[in-house]
Structure 1
Amino acid sequence: MLPDHRSPSIRSRIPFAGTACALAVCGVLTACAVGPNFQTPKAPDATAYTPKPLPTETASAPVQGGEAQRFVEGMQIPEQWWSMLHSEKLDRFIAAAMKANPTVTAAQAALRQAQAQVRAQQGFFFPTISGSYSPSRQRNAVGTISPTLTSGDPLFNLHTAELSISYAPDVFGLNRRRVESLQALEDAQRFEVEATYLTLASNISLAAIEEASLRAQIDAQQRIVAIETKLYNLLQKQFTLGFVSGLEVAAARAQLAQAEQALPGLRKQLALQRDLLAALAGKLPADPLDAEFTFDDFKLPAELPVSLPSELVRQRPDVRAAEAQLHSATAEVGVAIANMLPQLTITGSYGGTATVFNQMFSAGNVFWSLAGNVAQTFFAGGTMLALKHGADAALVQAEAQYRSTVINAFQNVADTLHAIDADAETLRAAITSEQAARTTLEITEKQLSSGYVNVLAVLNAEQTMRTATQATAQAQAARFTDTVALYQSLGGGWWNRQAEGTQVGDAGKPARAEVATR
């Protein structure tokens, strides 16, 4: 041990310092944290998402978005999973939205707030040191009371400087449980940030796909209007020549009006979808958007990931956030128990007082004190016991919410897998139906010109064609939507971020990648 080269006068001025430090160290080393210790919940024992195995490959159809997709168990999900749709427009849009969307900014700020709260609570592990200096000018009534000064002078200046130290040893782990609870809430907020990234990217992808679907429906509807306009004009000429009746012309005009009536509604939906994309990008509706989306801007990935059920609970941000909330609730039980136990406080002070500033710490002018205090509440009207019961109930609630979140996560994946399989079959059937309707319409139009069928047959064929084309556009959108939903239901791919400090779509600093192992 190195010798203490400080002068005896200096050592004598702080006789309580070594004792206070020794008590603080002993308090920390011998302390124990009361209450239950958190245990990470086990993953469900499920080995599959659906009661019956689904086909390993989906059906295909000869149209954009009709490609067959193969399920790959355990396939890794890239962090920027939306790039699997092979749309540069979408990639740029999401990158810009990650910078501008206020929801992302709010989530990141909430995370910084949670981190600051943890650091603030950790400060209670250390002693609180404060200093004060109090100068005054005084006059004593020495004729009535004893003089303040030993010299008896009634008029004097008084300078007092004092250094105070207060420390509360964490004997029963009260502060450690509070820090543990706040750290768990920080982790929960960290996963909320990840959920914000995932939700924003998913909402933008879905909105872009819906825009593409609406544009396809508008194009199809405009083609139907053109066909029915051509028929109506033809019937007008034939009516002039006396080949058809006015009833047939009126029927054609009514169907043309119905086809035209559908266009404003579709255009309204497209306008609303553009407004939604603007809002997701952090812009006002009047601000210009750089991209317009059609089905040609997307391509289905040939392979789709299917994470193992045991891995799903570690990948989903909402499940991880619920787990962190459960961790916090567990620590709060320890906080409630520790509050019912004795509280130890150690305080010390060192100072000096004199009538001359530079003599405050001269011999005879120094004062110090060292004191300990143990406080135990014996009666508080049942408050502390009620708080303990409340913490227990909150723990049960957090456990139930965690189980519910896990169940919902598995349901999301199962629903999406069913939808991918069924919607692929639906698109194939829709394409077959549209091709048949188009062929029927072409044949019927030829038969009308030859006089083999009446106008009603053509109108029925046109109505069937209209329904089939709209169904095809919607089925195409469903294939892309299902793919986005699968990536979202599996948690995105945040855990595959390359390194801490990298950016999500060039947005602000993301959540820590190593949080999965905390």
Structure 2
Amino acid sequence: MCISLPVEGHVACKRWGIPLCVALMPLIVLLTSCAVGPDFSRPTTPHVERYVTTDQQSFAAPGGVQTLSPAVPVRDDWWTSFGCEAIDAAVDESLTGNVTLEGGQASLRRSDDLLRAGAGIFYPQVDAQAGASRQRYSPLRTGIEAPPSIFNLFTLSATISYTLDIWGGERRQVEALAAQAEAQRYALAATYLTLAANVVNAMIARAAYSDEIAATREMIELVREQVRITEAQVAAGASAWSAVLSLQNELATLEASVPGLEQRRAETEHLLALLAGMYPEQRSAPELSLKDIALPGVLPQTLPSSLVRRRPDILQAEAVLHVASASVGVATAALFPQITLSASGGLDSTLLHSLGGPGGQVWNVTAGVTAPVFHGGALWFQRKAALDAYNESQATYREVVLVAFAQVADTLRALEHDAQTVEAQTRAVRSAADALRLIKESYRAGTVGYLQILIADGQYHQARIAWLQASAQRLQDTVALYAALGGGLVPES
């Protein structure tokens, strides 16, 4: 329970030989040991046992089997599990040169400095003053008939003051500053995680675009060969001109798709330069193919209850909720009286060399009480606004948690479906390859023409492009799982 002590007038006496401030020290300690407003407690963890309705522990497909294992921790350098030196170098390059990270680090330093500045309220405030003036004094101001006088006045003084934080408003304010610094720290961790995920995704996309461009150009050469053969057949009267027109349309469509693929590959290269804090012309992109990127076989499996203790965006929302909770205490303390203790002492003299003489010594000890009486309801509604902000932060926190769980569930389902898609596309590639092999054997036997080989080869390349796209999506969804689980940057607490 918090109590208040009425203090009035100026205190400049001793009782029983003990300074009054010393006599009141136990009471002051008691008064300053309480703080109004709610004491913050961490939100409870969600009472759910799994992310999705069915728990599938492995995702098998040609090219690799992925297994979820609780024994595998989420590492802070999770991108190294893809076994690609180019990806490792790109992530390291971005983590050291990214402009957004640089700004986030500066924001974190600013929050820490504001916290240290706010903690200064717990110490007495000491100020010193010195002055020199020349004055013309008229005794008529005091009702004395005397001629005015001109004199110099030299002063040297010091003031010390301390506000008793009886209701804990200042402590709640510092608590809010500490929580704000925590929020900024987790925001920086979330930036690290997002940056790494964006870099890895961009590298995978760039490799997929390069492979798709190469496969498309091979198809273009095959269609061009089909056009030449069909034109020869038309000249010999063995085929209609419409067949040539159809192949020319297919050829033009394929040729038109290459610039779009090259544009998207260039955009990923420019994005990688941006993420690394470079201009596009300053970054040279090494050649990269999907075959250079390994599919992580064993993936971390975390309990749903631990997700809220490791994802930086959830921890940031929790810290923001803490700020709102402390702000309620600040607004509540503003409704109660505030007590300030102050003391000042100084030296006055009309001559500089005599400054410090006993005749010019002055001092003052004061205890003051300031109590809100009428503010037009401003303080009351400011507290209500703080409570509303706290309720808003609670809703935001719950929303962030729900979104996080949905993201994990999405990625788990995506990995399951990616494995199914890759498996189907692999069958399509194998079927197209077998069909091409059989047609080549028939061609050697003289039962089919070369044009059928080119058509079957084109179908094979189309199936391979679809397989490349499915494989790239599987890799990117693996990246999404690492990011959804928090990336290991924040240890579970």
CA distance in 2, matches of 1:378, 1:146: 36
CA distance in 2, matches of 1:53, 1:400: 29
Call closer, same or farther: CA 1:158–1:478 in 2, change over 3 Å: same
Q: 1:90 aligns with which of 87, 90, 104?
A: 87
| Ranges in structure 2 where 5+ consecutive residues have no aligned partner | 1-11
Q: 1:478 aligns with which of 467, 473, 478?
A: 473
Deviations 1:126-161 (A, max 9, x none): 11111111112234346x56799x9x9933321111
CA distance in 1, matches of 2:25, 2:97: 49
The 5 A counterparts of 1:161-172 are: 161-172=156-167
Name the counterpart of 1:507: none
Cα offset, 1:380, TM superposition: 0.7
- Partner-residue secondary structure (3-state), 1:347: strand
1:49 equivalent to 2:46? Answer no
AA in 2 matched with 1:128 = Q
| Paired residues, number | 479
1:330 equivalent to 2:325? Answer yes
* Preserved CA contact (<8 Å) 1:228 1:462: no
The 5 A counterparts of 1:260-409 are: 260-409=255-404
Tell me which moved more, 107-116 or 254-263: 254-263
Cα offset, 1:70, TM superposition: 1.2
Cα offset, 1:238, TM superposition: 3.0
AA in 1 matched with 2:373 = F
* Preserved CA contact (<8 Å) 2:226 2:451: no
- Partner-residue secondary structure (3-state), 2:61: coil
Name the counterpart of 1:128: 125
Q: 1:494 aligns with which of 463, 476, 489?
A: 489
1:118 equivalent to 2:115? Answer yes
* Preserved CA contact (<8 Å) 2:200 2:479: yes
Name the counterpart of 1:506: none
Cα offset, 1:356, TM superposition: 2.1
Tell me which moved more, 230-239 or 120-129: 230-239
* Preserved CA contact (<8 Å) 1:28 1:169: no
* Preserved CA contact (<8 Å) 1:252 1:459: no
Cα offset, 1:420, TM superposition: 0.9
- Partner-residue secondary structure (3-state), 1:307: coil
CA distance in 1, matches of 2:277, 2:202: 14
- Partner-residue secondary structure (3-state), 2:126: strand
Name the counterpart of 2:40: 38
Call closer, same or farther: CA 1:22–1:84 in 2, change over 3 Å: farther
CA distance in 1, matches of 2:445, 2:24: 108
The 5 A counterparts of 1:444-455 are: 444=439
Q: 1:99 aligns with which of 86, 96, 99?
A: 96
* Preserved CA contact (<8 Å) 1:58 1:421: yes
- Partner-residue secondary structure (3-state), 1:59: strand
CA distance in 1, matches of 2:285, 2:223: 35
Name the counterpart of 2:66: 69
Name the counterpart of 2:250: 255
* Preserved CA contact (<8 Å) 1:360 1:366: no
Name the counterpart of 1:5: none
| Aligned-CA RMSD value | 2.9
Name the counterpart of 1:27: 28
* Preserved CA contact (<8 Å) 1:346 1:373: yes
CA distance in 1, matches of 2:402, 2:455: 47
Percent identity, aligned pairs only, is 34
Cα offset, 1:482, TM superposition: 1.5
AA in 2 matched with 1:230 = E
* Preserved CA contact (<8 Å) 1:313 1:406: yes
* Preserved CA contact (<8 Å) 1:24 1:169: no
Name the counterpart of 1:237: 232
* Preserved CA contact (<8 Å) 2:222 2:454: no
CA distance in 2, matches of 1:398, 1:331: 12
